[in-house]
Amino acid sequence: MNRVALVTGGSRGIGAATVLRLAQMGYDLAFTYRVEAEKALALAKKVEELGRRALPIQLDLAELAEIKGVVDRVAHDLGEPVILVNNAGYVQRIAPENLSLEDWERMIRVSLTAPFLFIQAAVPYMKKAGFGRIVNVSSLRALTGSAHGVHYSAAKAGLLGLTKSFALALAPFGITVNAVCPGFVNTDINKEQLEKHGVEILKQIPLGRVAEPTEVAALIGFLCSEEAGYITGATFSINGGLRMD
Ligand SMILES: NC(=O)c1ccc[n+]([C@@H]2O[C@H](COP(=O)([O-])OP(=O)(O)OC[C@H]3O[C@@H](n4cnc5c(N)ncnc54)[C@H](OP(=O)(O)O)[C@@H]3O)[C@@H](O)[C@H]2O)c1
């Protein structure tokens, strides 16, 4: 079996930690980034230092028409992918009354439609291998809602439906599909919010701290492992106890 994984948004944060985790697990890594080319190249070097091959690919996930070509390029240049982590994402804090249709549509494209298209393009390779692992990075906000991120919360909640539906469709082929819902993680995405409201946020987290990206990557890595073969269609919270389901 090809040991090739594809991670979207691999240049920074949770995605970069996941790339390294999967490389440590013996996978060659393709990963996308949008603008941070320098960070992507530095990460590729680290993957190579771990003895694995790396293929960084520039892609704005809003460019949906390019997604199938990217997955096929990974298959051609690195090997047919058997692991897919739909991780890339962004937040936009905005009151619902000021949210434009353009902002709404961009968020849905990047955070919901792009993951759908990545799965659709990668699945034929996984079916061929008789093995596949797909992890979708959702959010605590999919479960709680978000007064200043209606579009973010809606897209991330949609990702949970997508996860369960593909889990059903792909179970007969040895392909598992799961979702993770991080709470607050120490990455650029919520730097501003943590700087402004860190004290109040930490008070609400029973474990009293935010997560490190490596902690989320460890969960994703486990869901991608062969040992996790009986877990599918599941949603995993990783939020320090902020919300217990
Ligand atoms: N951090 C948290 O507290 C938290 C909590 C819940 C859920 N999450 C989710 O976890 C995922 C990773 O977040 P993070 O905290 O690691 O964020 P991050 O550090 O800001 O990294 C985001 C990654 O996504 C890429 N990206 C952003 N917009 C993109 C676009 N339009 N097209 C392609 N790539 C794009 C970025 O590429 P560039 O580096 O090139 O910009 C980067 O690699 C996201 O889906 C986020 O919603 C994070």
Structural domains of the chain in order of their starting residue, each with its CATH number: 4-238 (3.40.50.720)
- Is 27 a catalytic site residue? no
Residue 2's pLDDT is what?
A: 78
Note whether 42 and 11 are within 8 A (CB).
Answer: no
**Nearest CA, atom 46, ligand 1:** 89
Atom of ligand 1 nearest to the CA of 36: 40
Atom of ligand 1 nearest to the CA of 211: 3
Atom of ligand 1 nearest to the CA of 216: 10
Q: How far is the CA of 222 from the centre of ligand 1 (A)?
A: 20
Helix (H) or strand (E) holding 158: helix 150-170
Answer whether 182 contacts ligand 1 (Cβ < 6 A): yes
From 14, 140, 181, the mutation candidate for ligand 1 (largest count of ligand atoms within 8 A of CB) is 14
Averaged pLDDT, groups of 10, the chain, 245 residues long: 93 98 98 97 98 98 98 98 98 97 98 98 98 98 97 98 98 98 96 92 97 98 98 98 93
Burial 71-108 (b: 16+ CB within 10 A, else e): beebbeebbbbbbbbbbbbebeebeeeebeeeebebbb
Note whether 19 and 47 are within 8 A (CB).
Answer: yes
Answer whether 219 contacts ligand 1 (Cβ < 6 A): no
d(CA 29, CA 19): 7
Helix (H) or strand (E) holding 31: strand 28-33
Q: How far is the CA of 149 from the centre of ligand 1 (A)?
A: 15
